[in-house]
Structure 1
Amino acid sequence: MVVGEEIVSPAPADVLVASGGKPVSLGADANSKEFRREDHELDKAFSAVLARLTGGISPAALSMAYLDWACHLAAAPQRQIEIGHGAWHAARRLAERSLHFADPNRGPWDLIKPQANDHRFSKPQWTTQPFNLFAQAFLLGEDWWHKATTGVRGVDPANEAIVDFSLRQLLDVFAPSNFAATNPEVVEKTFQSGGENLVFGWQNWLADLMQVLQPGRASDSTEFVVGKSVATAPGKIVLRNRLMELIQYAPTTDKVRPEPILVVPAWIMKYYILDLSQHNSLVRYLTDHGFTVFMISWRNPGAEDRDIAFDDYRSLGVMAALDTIGQIVPNTRVHAAGYCLGGTLLSITAAAMARDGDDRLRTVTLFAAQTDFTEAGELTLFINESQIAFLEDMMWERGYLDTTQMAGAFQLLRSNDLIWSRVSRDYLLGERAHPSDLMAWNADATRLPYRMHSEYLRKLFLNNDLAEGRYEVGGRPVSLSDIHTPMFVVGTMRDHVAPWKSTYKVHYEVDADVTFVLASGGHNAGIVAPPDEPGHSHQVRTKAADAPYLGPDEWQGSSPRIEGSWWPTWITWLEQQSGTLGPPPRLGTDHSADLGIAPGGYVHT
């Protein structure tokens, strides 16, 4: 459908011809099927236009959250008094501090300190006056608004979180670090460079604007090119279908373990995050330790793929890959590993295989993957009936979820680090972050098909069907408790996408031995953790299937901490679950000779 399409119809005045060509009588009963059908084109078209103005955020969901908070606050006079007293107390303290801001006996953060994860005011320049006073005034205001929007009796917790989160995003716009005159780092550099930083900042802004106006415009950076400097592990395409390519990597050792490893990445990212540069490629690390590795490379969907279902990723992805691996390495069980959404898909597949008596999986490994979505962090703020319906309408017009919409949602979760720190660095200080392979990968965005994303949000996030035993494969429900194969599960400490306590829930969902690792870092940097890179650490502990459950806080407090990457720990675990070394298998099948070499073609789509 084309929004804004001219409507021409010889129909009577009380009949409207929808853009789909079907007449809808304006005089019909409002409860008729025509008005109640879920795929009403006019409603979807209007929502799609509205989504462009709101950045994909449902105005109805936001309004209901604020109405819930405002109505309950209006009926809570004592809470109003507390909030008012808090404002007066903060204003009095700030006024007193401003009268004595030059007093050397007062510390720089005597009113309020930035939170540990707030790095906007971490530079020493922020301890000088009056900039320190600006920062404390902002932090006091931010703290007051947080207290005003939380703790109101009767407000739905989900609505309270939406109000708190959205107001925090609004307040962050006005942080003193975002303005040249109130940012001491910018003031200092402007004097030192004679304003050169502002000129460079203007040039950076223009370059970014051109990138927004011309989304297909090639990046100026040629340092990280897929197939040349990243995604360079040698291998061969052994299967290609409409949804994915399967890569088999060439062995780097004379002998290999008999069980191959199948890696299932998420299709919200390009697979080569696990094969970046040579020094941080998990694929190379596995092959160097004697494992045969297969990797799924998903095709980036377009409008023609709007009806691809979530289950298609299971059947055309994981199951098709296992069939091909069975031809190359027959009569051998497989170590399967899934990352993020790929791990969720792998969990569903493993449960369905266990239900159906398919024992081809030797082990299951999950990297930052959720199987229960009740505590999925602030990302769940975007998930309710109103928001999902809004996203469905927005996707319906194009047939997929656009890359900018998905990237924007993830950036909001860490707006101080991913948005405002970049504004300060790129546009005010006139600097550019040195490009890295991880940054280049992050900019290589993907899309999500309309039907698949709708099913994913509704069945998993909104209804939590998988954890509650309602998710169906082949017309029958699957249960994670059917999984009995040993599992290795990795959560990351600072994960804003799949919080580690959410990934930890697998302990009481499956009936299997679970080795759980809590790694330092976030959703990406915590997984891409090569052993020779400093700063990594992890905790690890194994729970037998019949052992009593240990809560996440108790687990964290009692599990041993190991300095260094978790990769060697995984390799040791895999070796314990594998057979003796032997000659490597053949590369490819009789039918894959003409499919090409790694990284394949789909990674470029």
Structure 2
Amino acid sequence: MATEEPADLRDVETLNANLAKVEELSQRLVAAMAARKPSDKGLEGPGQDLYAKAASAYMSEMMANPARIIEHQVGYWGKALKHFVEANHALASMTPGAFPGAIPGAEAGAAGPSGAPADPGPKDRRFSNPLWDTHPYFNFIKQQYQLSAEAIETSVRELEVEGRDKQRLEFFARQIIDMMSPANFLATNPEALEKAVATNGQSLVQGLENLVRDIEANDGELLVSLSDRDAFTVGENLAATEGSVVYRNSMFELIQYAPATEKVRARPLILFPPWINKFYVLDLKPRNSLIRWIVEQGYTLFVVSWVNPDPSYRDVGLETYVEDGFLEAIRVVREITGEEQVNATGYCIAGTTLALSLALLKQRGEAPVASATFFTTLTDFSDKGEVGVFLTDDFVDAIEREVTEKGILQSFFMSRTFSYLRSNDLIYQPAIRSYMLGEAPPAFDLLYWNGDSTNLPARMAVQYLRGLCQGNRFAEGGFDLAGTSLALGDVDLPVFAVACETDHIAAWPSSYVGVATMGSKDKTFVLSQSGHIAGIVNPPSKNKYGHYTGDAPGGSRKGRAGQGGGLTPEEWKAGAEFHEGSWWGRWEEWLRARSGDEVPARQPGSADYPVLCPAPGTYVVAKPRKEAP
């Protein structure tokens, strides 16, 4: 009669088998990383001059005020030593040989045998596992990290460095601090260690498989998968609002959505999404689809779906996006509907380019657009907000070298840049769950879209970064496009602008200043709660984020400083009225007043523009070539 093997022996065999898998996966990992193609080193971090300025400022402070430096150091040493002594007492009272996960009461979040030193700091969700508080070893590591982080932040904050350099130093110091969190390393992450022991190493095997998969999928680069790539299919459970592609050129496909009402407003609405990402962020699941909602309110809606450029688009510039994109789409929509004017909406960079298009139309004496709506749009780049740390010469010079060589700015670099603006949420926490805990990414529609980004043509990227972001020529002095010098004041039609309170890409005060500079007499400015995406994709049914309304932005550009008769952004917000719930209904009411009478609902296409294929079309799912043909 066969006897069953002891459980601990089976565990050892499982562990050994998993360790063998780790070795196999390690070989795959090396091969995957070897596929990484070299890129400009300037894209990896700030130039050395930033660190030189920091070192110089620190040395100057040491020479001018040594007592202050010593005070900082002694204060830090004192806190560190005190905490070390407290942790030592707690560790000495532990049961010899006890594994962290076996501490009595730890699984319930209670204190350890003698209790870890009290944690004076604010709660940090990176350290939500009870062992960070109950176990002296992990508590010691956590608090020493927090003490060190505080000391570094204080030192950087008090450095005598001016303006944008100070902002950049603080940002990149925070990046280093976040990267060095003990939660990011297996040996100092109690949750990962507990799971590895409980699964006999299977969680680490699965985590390594996840890591290898991500590196293989990104040609040797590390970009954490934020969402389950198999959970969604564009055109089925995303971007599923009924419609048809009615026009296509080399720059975009034009989608006309099927009506949901018997009558619609006469004037059509055309929506331009940013070509940095794909349009279906506005058409995710039905319950939070802005596109579906607009159609249900009784509008004939057209949406541009931009091509995802490959290196053959090297010489495509903003002129092409304006002439063959915005103006061409407006022309086609007018012909399909028979209307003299359209209402237009631009989101993010497409809002910026819509403003350029409107200024160009003004210079040409043409008025095919009746009103414009801007979502999270920057037109005045005098204050670039958080993203400005990546818009200095060291990064932009590197981008220019990269696109000159490759023909495009690959989507990887933009995804990584925007992720670092929220590194704990979009890099480290997902990496911990995927690589150390071995968990599958969640089935999250918004994060799926976030990972489905696009390339930028070389010429357009440089024009945008140099002329608009760095030079701020549209707001100051004139931006040359299509043989014409365009000014922000040329935008003089009715405007509705929505900015988002915690937007880390398009800072709301800068958005406000741009609207204030426009030449329009009819201006409405709304400030939504939340960020760049959640503040826009905020359906009324959720009643989640509220919004602020106030006086129309006005005055000259000097008005942002309280001169020239205009309210500053801060003054505007102080006097604004807060409203619960989404701004969508407020916008629709504004739009309705500028959309004419009701007419019978229009089906997609016309005699001159037959339906080409069902929505969401072909461009949104096409994979661009990596090399020019």
- The two structures share one fold, judged by TM-score above 0.5: yes
Which residue in the other structure is 1:417 paired with? Answer: 425
1:127 to 133, 136, 149: 133
- Matched residues in 1 for 2:40 and 2:553: separation? 52
How far the C-alpha of 1:486 sits from its partner, in A, is 2.0
CA distance in 1, matches of 2:603, 2:44: 50
Distance of aligned partners of 1:284 and 1:151 in 2 relative to their CA distance in 1, 3 Å threshold: same
SS of residue matched to 1:543: coil
State yes or no: 1:560 paired with 2:577.
yes
Matched, 1:293 2:301: yes
Question: Bigger CA drift: 179-188 or 443-452?
Answer: 179-188
Residues 125-204 of structure 1 aligned to structure 2 (within 5 Å):
125-130=131-136, 131-153=138-160, 155-190=161-196, 193=199, 195-204=201-210
Residue equivalent to 1:599: 616
Paired amino acid for 1:264: F
Shift of 1:190: 4.4
Work out the CA distance in 1 between the residues paired with 2:267 and 2:554. Answer: 23
Tell me what 2:119 maps to.
Answer: 109
Deviations 1:510-556 (A, max 9, x none): 13332222222221222111222353222223417689533222332
CA RMSD of aligned residues (A): 2.8
Aligned-partner Cα distance in 1 for 2:553–2:534: 29
SS of 2:549's partner is: strand
Q: What amino acid is aligned across from residue 57 of structure 1 in structure 2?
A: E
Deviations 1:350-400 (CA, angstroms, capped at 9, x unpaired): 222233332222221111111111222232222223332221111112100
Q: Give the conservation status (yes or no) of the 8 Å contact 1:531–1:564.
A: yes
Does 2:95 correspond to 1:97? no
Amino acid at match of 1:508: A
Question: 1:67/1:337 Cα in 2 relative to 1: closer, same or farther (>3 Å)?
Answer: same
Secondary structure of the residue aligned to 1:256 is strand
- After superposition, give the CA deviation of every residue in 1:571-599 in whole Å (9 maximum; x if it has no partner): 12212333222212353233322522211
Q: Where do 1:242-281 residues align within 5 Å?
A: 242-281=250-289
**C-alpha contact (below 8 Å) 1:237/1:592 kept by paired residues:** no
Aligned mates of 2:533, 2:228 — CA distance in 1: 24
Residues 51 and 390, structure 1, Cα contact 8 Å, conserved in 2? no
1:64 equivalenced with 2:49 (yes/no): yes
What corresponds to 1:324 in structure 2? 332
Show CA shifts across 1:391-433 (max 9, x none): 1111112100011111111111111111111122112222234
Determine the structure 2 residue equivalent to 1:458.
466
Measured in 2, the distance between the counterparts of 1:521 and 1:225 equals 27
Counterpart check, 1:570 vs 2:583: no
Q: Distance in 2 between matches of 1:128 and 1:53?
A: 46
**Could you tell me which residue of structure 2 aligns to residue 24 of structure 1?**
none
Kindly provide the amino acid, as one letter, of the partner of residue 148 in structure 2.
Answer: G
**Partner-residue secondary structure (3-state), 1:373:** coil
Which residue number corresponds to residue 64 of structure 2? 78
How many residues get paired? 549
Contact 1:62–1:162 (8 Å) recurs in 2: no
Contact 1:73 1:79 in 2 (8 A): no
Alpha-carbon deviation of 1:140?
2.2
- Summarize the Cα distance change of 1:545–1:72 in structure 2 as closer, same or farther, 3 Å threshold: closer
CA distance in 2, matches of 1:385, 1:442: 27
In percent, how many aligned pairs have the same letter? 34
What is the CA-CA distance between 1:194 and the residue it aligns to?
5.2
Please tell me the residue identity of whatever aligns with 1:83.
Answer: I
Asked whether 1:435 is paired with 2:443, we answer: yes
Counterpart in 1 of 2:41? 54
Give the equivalent residue in structure 1 for 2:546. 537
Gaps of 5+ in 2: 1-35, 91-110, 556-563, 623-629
Q: CA separation in 2, counterparts of 1:479 and 1:344?
A: 12
Query: 2: CA distance between counterparts of 1:129 and 1:106?
Result: 6
Match of 2:533 in 1: 524
| Contact 1:66/1:159 (<8 A) preserved | no
Give the partner amino acid of 1:317: G
**Aligned-partner SS, 1:582:** strand
Query: How many angstroms does 1:121 deviate by?
Result: 2.7
1:446 pairs, out of 454, 479, 494, with: 454
The DSSP-based 3-state class of the residue aligned with 2:496 is strand
> Is 1:368 paired with 2:371?
no
Cα distance change of structure 1 residues 191 and 285 upon mapping to structure 2, 3 Å threshold: same
C-alpha contact 2:550 2:573 (8 A) present in aligned 1? no
Contact kept? 2:309, 2:455, Cα under 8 Å: yes
Structure-2-length-normalised TM-score = 0.81
Amino acid across the alignment from 1:109:
D
CA contact (8 A) 1:68 1:156 kept: no
Amino acid aligned to 2:235 = G
